[in-house]
Structure 1
Amino acid sequence: MPNKIENNKKLFGTSGIRGEIKDEVTCDLALNVGKALATYLNGHGEVVVGYDPRTSNQMLENAITAGLLESGGNVLKIGMVPTPVVGYAVEKLNASAGIMITASHNPSQYNGIKIWNQNGMAYTSSQENEIENIYYSKKFIKSDWNDIGTIHYIDEIKKEYINDLLNTVEIKPGLKVVIDSASGAGSEISPLVFRMAGCEVITLNSQIDGFFPGRNPEPNEANLQDLMKIVKATNSDIGIAHDGDADRMMAIDENGRIGDFDKLLALLSQYMAEKSNKNNDIKVVTTVDAGLCMDEALTSVNGTIVRTKVGDVNVAESIIEEKAIFGGEPSGTWLHSDFCMCPDGILSGLRIAEIVSKKGPLSKLLDDIPKYPNIREKISCSKEEKITVMENMGNLLTSSFEDIVDINTIDGVRITWDDGSWVLVRPSGTEDYIRITLESKTIEKANFIRDRCVEIININLDK
């Protein structure tokens, strides 16, 4: 969700800077972000800059470039590309940092800026705080006329990215795939890579258009109805959908059903563990809101799940810390540590296609993964109430239930029972809600957990 930059003096949200053009994201903002990043880099180094097809992107690219140049940074322009190409390019070109101009799955009137590290991983919250402090203090480095940065155009990086993708996967020839790129940044590269990998490709919403005329870029069931129908009508093996910048992926099975978020992540996690050359200590990272099927999928191949805070940068940090083979969020944002630490929806789609080409229909693969009753609830409250209620939530929950085997407080409070049931009570990072997410092997227990959690929260809100 967009963050109100001017009202609360908070520049970065949960996924970089994001807001509406003209009101929140402006050329002035982009110019000063460029200056702040170059200042953070001590007025030298090279910064990769890319953007998705939004109508405001070249405007913002010019402003960011001007800011970088004025403060001594050199700019490596790679043009209109998917977000994963920016992360890949920073690492491949040994650049100091990367900038992707995108609002990801938000509608056309939104835009944003996300910054990437040398290893292809997004900037951490501590790094963003440093950029933010420079931005608001306006203590920018200003270069003399003979030290202004330079611009270089890097045209070959997309070709290198494609070649490295093709060397990463092994898809048996003949798989029939429908690709829906939402008219976004993946519209050129994704269909091309699948064809080069030996697939028969049908494209949908793959004409580049920053107005996103075919569908909203969020790849959810409501927005993928056309893709679901076309996959079934054309007897295709699989459908692949991206968001506006192609860092996410959603898959449709051959019957036109959208894949369950948790099941898709569990399927690929298990496959990556099977492919791993590790005999032990196989780890996959996911977030605290991922389902029970993740644990079961990894247990079956002698692996373990490591849970972290919601957000792809948190997953990336944990992958590095735990030396994990793979990681991802149930939203379709997956990180392939054997390729790059940037979320990559194109590689995610290729790997799902690889599994289907080798193991059979996606519908059967997903149906073989257990699905348990899942409930999501949200309770309205003010920002102040969120803080007050969550302060003692761990104690409130543990004193209200029996047979608890694990308590995780890394992001909200998640408790797990001896039968695998779990509940996560977490304050929303973008809205005035406390969210309850839970899963149990019976609907009766799921309802009991939900009702008790709602009661606990409402009592402490004095409702």
Structure 2
Amino acid sequence: MEVFGSSGTRGIVNESLTPSFAMEVAQAAGSVWDDDRVGIARDTRVTGEMIADAVASGLASVGTDIDRLGVTPTPAAQAYAERAGIPVVIVTASHNPPEFNGIKLVGSDGVGLSVDELERIEEVFLADASDTRAWNEVGRSRRVETANDDYLDELLDVVDVDRIAGANLTVALDPGHGAASLTSPQFFRALGCDVVTVNAQPDGHFPGRDAEPIPENLDDLGRLVQATDADLGIAHDGDGDRAVFFDETGEYMEGDATLAALVAAELDPGETTVSAVNVSQRLVDAVSAADAELELTPIGSTYIVSRIRELQKQGISVPIAGEGNGGLFFPRYRLARDGAFTAARFLELVASRNASEIVAPYSGYHNIRVNLTYEDRTERDAMLDAAAEWARDVDVELSTQDGIRLDYGDAWVLTRPSGTEPLIRLYAEAGSEQRAQELVDHVREALERGRQ
């Protein structure tokens, strides 16, 4: 796909992502969708209102009425789509820096569009074939003020409130100035938790920390857990569809470890879970112990959703899926990543034992993630070609399903270009940090040779 990546389309505002681009994408989507009304939601970014206005103009120009939801976490917008039975355009760049924004498209079932659906919209966009209407047939807008409150009510209906409330838990929460600042504090208090917060005021400049919930951005949350003797620290990304955790000592818990722990609690023999090609051995171990199956896809929620749907059509049970970045799916609840729901499911486990004990069985691995920048597509391709040539000469198992993955048996390393940023990402996992770093260094050397 040229326009849509693994999680929609994103770019720096007024450079690669302009109001005219957003309008044209919305025109194409509105032309393909057979719906009289479409919702628009956005996160807290300072450019969100401008891009949402452009999207509204594009939809109205093809005769579509618009529900303006305002600042709404992505999972709340997906819940609204399912509840109202209409598609929703979400203006968000998720974890990207504040100068970025983006567009994510959700169907009337509340699920992100499949690759096939995105390609149909992309074809209309690239062919400039949108079905614009006469002046007296354009769409009209209305504001919807209840999307967040209705979402919270739905969450409270599907989690074990009594179990969590009965444990008298203290939660330290960092919504990262994002859209979940409007929902997660209220949600965890409604679960009976004492809630202390940091970076909980909505602010699209992200003054307290960057939007991506990775360890180097979350020092304040770790300190807050320690200072308040919290049972769990929870952090979200900019649009609230991910959750990562700190244990009761204020230590960051690897996302792959919490994913494995949740899968172990959810998965029964004979069932299947779905993850991406950067899968951790932790998850492999948890699936094997459950006597279940693991399916792998390219990295990105779009691919995971598509595979879950295929498996469900075959009558295969997929109770949980996701990636180690905190983006999990619980398809029996909704086929959407939801940071607040994921955190609530983890709190159900914390109600019985310490967070550190929950992930202890999955702590024997070390992960390293490195990002390399490139100037243009030509340089990127040269770097990846050099890495591929190097990988072919290494006598280990090689996979090119999504990028270049080398599996050494006791360790693995993956190289792939980002689908949303001008970056080449390196992932490595091994039984020791030194071994993981060595693998990253070898691949980085090959990439850098391609840059010369």
Normalising to structure 1: TM-score of the pair?
0.85
Q: Specify every segment of 5 or more residues in structure 2 that has no aligned partner in the other structure, as ranges.
A: 313-317
Report the equivalent of 1:142: 132
Cα distance in 1 between the residues matched to 2:182 and 2:330: 21
The structure-2 alpha-carbon separation of the partners of 1:148 and 1:374, relative to structure 1 and needing over 3 Å to count, comes to closer
Question: Residue 108 of structure 1 aligns to a residue in which SS?
Answer: coil
RMSD of Structure 2 on Structure 1 (CA): 2.9
Report the equivalent of 1:131: 121
Cα distance in 2 between the residues matched to 1:159 and 1:146: 35
Report the equivalent of 1:322: 311
Question: Residue 102 of structure 2 aligns to a residue in which SS?
Answer: strand
Report the equivalent of 2:8: 16
- Give the CA deviation at 1:436: 5.0
In the alignment, structure 1 residue 372 sits paired with structure 2 residue 365: yes
- Give the CA deviation at 1:146: 4.0
Question: Residue 272 of structure 2 aligns to a residue in which SS?
Answer: strand
- Give the CA deviation at 1:56: 1.9
Report the equivalent of 1:36: 28
Of the structure 1 ranges 298-307 and 436-445, higher mean CA displacement relative to structure 2 is found in: 436-445
- Give the CA deviation at 1:228: 0.7
Report the equivalent of 1:332: 326
Report the equivalent of 1:99: 89
- Give the CA deviation at 1:108: 2.4
The structure-2 alpha-carbon separation of the partners of 1:421 and 1:302, relative to structure 1 and needing over 3 Å to count, comes to same
Residues 77-116 of structure 1: pairs in structure 2 closer than 5 A: 77-95=68-86, 97-116=87-106
Q: Which amino acid aligns with 2:381?
A: E
The structure-2 alpha-carbon separation of the partners of 1:203 and 1:391, relative to structure 1 and needing over 3 Å to count, comes to closer
Cα distance in 1 between the residues matched to 2:50 and 2:451: 49
Q: Which amino acid aligns with 2:9?
A: I
Of the structure 1 ranges 252-261 and 69-78, higher mean CA displacement relative to structure 2 is found in: 69-78
**Aligned partners of 2:11 and 2:421 also within 8 Å:** no
Q: Which amino acid aligns with 2:118?
A: E
Q: Specify every segment of 5 or more residues in structure 1 that has no aligned partner in the other structure, as ranges.
A: 1-8
The structure-2 alpha-carbon separation of the partners of 1:462 and 1:269, relative to structure 1 and needing over 3 Å to count, comes to same
The structure-2 alpha-carbon separation of the partners of 1:67 and 1:393, relative to structure 1 and needing over 3 Å to count, comes to same
Residues 58-73 of structure 1: pairs in structure 2 closer than 5 A: 58-73=49-64
- Give the CA deviation at 1:160: 2.7
Question: Residue 181 of structure 2 aligns to a residue in which SS?
Answer: coil
**Aligned partners of 1:119 and 1:340 also within 8 Å:** no
The structure-2 alpha-carbon separation of the partners of 1:396 and 1:177, relative to structure 1 and needing over 3 Å to count, comes to same
Cα distance in 2 between the residues matched to 1:248 and 1:448: 30
**Percentage of matched positions with identical amino acids:** 30
Report the equivalent of 2:315: none
Of 164, 167, 191, the match for 1:197: 191
**Aligned partners of 1:51 and 1:61 also within 8 Å:** yes
The structure-2 alpha-carbon separation of the partners of 1:379 and 1:75, relative to structure 1 and needing over 3 Å to count, comes to closer
Report the equivalent of 1:5: none
- Give the CA deviation at 1:233: 0.7
Report the equivalent of 1:214: 208
In the alignment, structure 1 residue 353 sits paired with structure 2 residue 347: yes
In the alignment, structure 1 residue 272 sits paired with structure 2 residue 263: no
Report the equivalent of 1:172: 164
The structure-2 alpha-carbon separation of the partners of 1:410 and 1:242, relative to structure 1 and needing over 3 Å to count, comes to same
- Give the CA deviation at 1:313: 1.1
- Give the CA deviation at 1:164: 1.8
The structure-2 alpha-carbon separation of the partners of 1:240 and 1:449, relative to structure 1 and needing over 3 Å to count, comes to closer
Normalising to structure 2: TM-score of the pair?
0.87
In the alignment, structure 1 residue 384 sits paired with structure 2 residue 378: no
The Cα offsets for residues 61-93 of structure 1, whole Å up to 9 and x where unpaired, read as 222112111101121222211011111211221
Q: Which amino acid aligns with 2:286?
A: A
Q: Which amino acid aligns with 1:90?
A: A
**Aligned partners of 1:319 and 1:325 also within 8 Å:** no
- Give the CA deviation at 1:152: 3.7
The structure-2 alpha-carbon separation of the partners of 1:77 and 1:377, relative to structure 1 and needing over 3 Å to count, comes to closer
**Aligned partners of 2:388 and 2:404 also within 8 Å:** no
The structure-2 alpha-carbon separation of the partners of 1:203 and 1:370, relative to structure 1 and needing over 3 Å to count, comes to closer
Cα distance in 2 between the residues matched to 1:196 and 1:240: 16
The structure-2 alpha-carbon separation of the partners of 1:139 and 1:181, relative to structure 1 and needing over 3 Å to count, comes to same
The structure-2 alpha-carbon separation of the partners of 1:441 and 1:31, relative to structure 1 and needing over 3 Å to count, comes to closer
**Aligned partners of 1:121 and 1:313 also within 8 Å:** no
Report the equivalent of 1:307: 296
Q: Which amino acid aligns with 2:359?
A: L
- Give the CA deviation at 1:49: 0.9
**Aligned partners of 1:18 and 1:25 also within 8 Å:** yes
